[in-house]
Amino acid sequence: MNVFTRAAPKKGENFELRADLNSEYRDKRKDAIKCVIANMTVGKDVSGLFPDVLKNMQTEDIEQKKLVYLYLINYAKTQPELVILAVNTFVKDSDDPNPLIRALAIRTMGCIRVEKIIDYLTDPLQKCLHDDNPYVRKTAALCVAKLYDLKPELVIENGFLEQLHDMVSDSNPMVVANTVTALSDIHVAATSQPSTSSSDPAIFTITSTILNKLLIALNECSEWGRVAILSALSRYQATDEKESEHICERVVPQFQHANGSVVLGAVRVIMIHMRNVKREELTKQLVRKMAPPLVTLLSSPPEVQWVALRNINLLLQKRSDILSNEMRVFFCKYNDPLYVKVEKLDIMVRLAGENNVDALLSELKEYASEVDVDFVRRSIKAIGQAAIKIDAAAERCVNVLLDLIATRVSYVVQEAVVVMKDIFRRYPSTYEGVIPTLCANLEELDEPEAKASLIWIIGEYANKIDNAEELLAIFVDTFTEESYPSVVLAHRPPISLPRTTVAPALLNELIGEISSLASVYHKPAETFIGMGRVGADSMQRKGSDSADDRLATQKALQTVAAGQQAENLLDFDDEPADGGDVYAALQRD
């Protein structure tokens, strides 16, 4: 044999897969389908195998059918002419004796966003909505919402909306939950249209009768169903105080649930309906029961923990007594990401009072010795906020600041000077004895805000500083070049620590959106919904969010994206991942 003979050219992986997909052996075909899905998952283009995969659609093997359907969903848009060839199999599968196959067929048809397929969907959907098996009915309910999103007139013409309203009375709690989800999604889509009227069948109005059915189903369905029902309950307008009390009492047991999404959903319902509760004893009882589940959320992974902290921050602005005895659970851990530490600092200051300020100051002083400069600055700032908030603790706060200034660490000294300026404004002529120490560290100051703060202090107390003119002269040469203005001996607005960071009306709106992105951003949904990724990024750049907020949001959404990809590729069920309605909403199809 000639050693220089040229080897035959490789025909590529897709060539081999095509051969296996058409093999006479069933196991070989199934293994080839798995390989195709694996390649599709990692981003390889296997759309050229569409006809060959499609041939394997007619099978009794449910696992294989799932994989083929998954492939069809992924490539239907790029191969609309070929996907129509699968219609007969879809229709046939919707009549299969196996309820799992019937549900799989109707779900897949709803997920394939090709108009030619939609026209064939109505008859199978009509049958599946009345199917004897609850799993098929609950799948069909969600399919109606998907169909409404694509072609609303088809839903109305076929009476699917009326059927959904009837299905709220279904005997199976999961069917009720999915029906509520579908009706709520359709309601949101309909109300976004300016021409929608209150008589439109797409408007989902919760009556007292529906309310009772939802409360009954609440304890019997999965996390996904509970989240959907709780979301609907948060929209319900109670007829009187007694009904609000009844709702609160029925929802409180959800605080014990292991899923964070359910817990936050229950908190939202309680906070909304508690507004109508006049009995102070019941209100205190509800607030007391709310604390343990919120604390439990802090043992979640960092991204979920951050979402919980953002929501807790809002709750404390509305009711500061919810976690009044839980300061220590917000102490920062060494391995907490910065964005989690920042939220914890803010919450600790909100919870600070005369009874726990010493523990807070001890903790903040320790934080000020850490290596993360940004966290150190924020910790020192929190000491100043505690001084401004709690009159009786102001002197203790000042003493801690003096200890930090004594370290002679540049960025520590500079932040302490800025903080002392605010303390002087809050307590005029009270801590003048600190001024010599501040002036002695003048050479440490090279940041504009720190310089401006010391200039203000010297100017404000010039008559009590012997060499005030000499000290100010040091800044004169470069004063016009500084980016930070220094206002001396001018009218000073009163300084205090605001109880809320959002307007009262907006706060009420955001409380009604607890566990959604609105409560995470602390902004109304209309400021970022519907703008797409580019618009949302622009909103973040223009808004007041810090870099830490954006980092945390990015990490949270990356976690969601990973979960969404895993669900779409591997699971055909409707269960959500743990971690709040933010995740549940984004993980749905």
Query: Over the stretch 306-351, which tens digit does the pLDDT of each residue have?
Result: 999 999 999 999 998 899 889 999 999 989 999 999 999 999 999 9
Summarised one tens digit per residue, pLDDT across range 263-319 is: 999 999 999 999 999 999 999 999 999 999 999 999 989 999 999 999 999 999 999
pLDDT at position 180 over 70: yes
Quick one: what percent of the chain has pLDDT higher than 70? 86
Mean pLDDT for the chain overall: 84
Burial (CB count <10 Å: 0-12, 13-18, 19+), residue 283 = middle
Q: Which of 149-163, 324-338, 492-506 has the lowest mean pLDDT?
A: 492-506
0.85 surpassed by pTM: no
- DSSP conformational letter for 162: H
Average pLDDT estimate for 407-414: 93
**485: confidence class by pLDDT, cuts 50, 70, 90:** low
Half-sphere exposure of 446 (CA within 13 A, CB side): 5
Contacts of 219 (CB under 8 A, 6+ apart): 253
User: What's the pLDDT band for 364 if we cut at 50, 70, 90?
Assistant: very high
Token pair, residue 482, equals 């500084």
Q: What stretches of 50-172 show up as alpha helix (H) in DSSP?
A: 50-54, 62-75, 80-83, 87-93, 99-111, 115-118, 122-129, 134-150, 152-157, 160-167
The amino acid present at 7, given as its one-letter code, is A
Both structure tokens of 295: 């604390």
**Tens digits of per-residue pLDDT, 110-123?**
888 887 788 888 89
Which pLDDT does position 583 carry in this prediction?
35
Percent of the chain with pLDDT over 90: 51
> pLDDT tens across 19-63, in order?
988 988 889 999 999 999 999 988 888 888 888 898 888 888 889
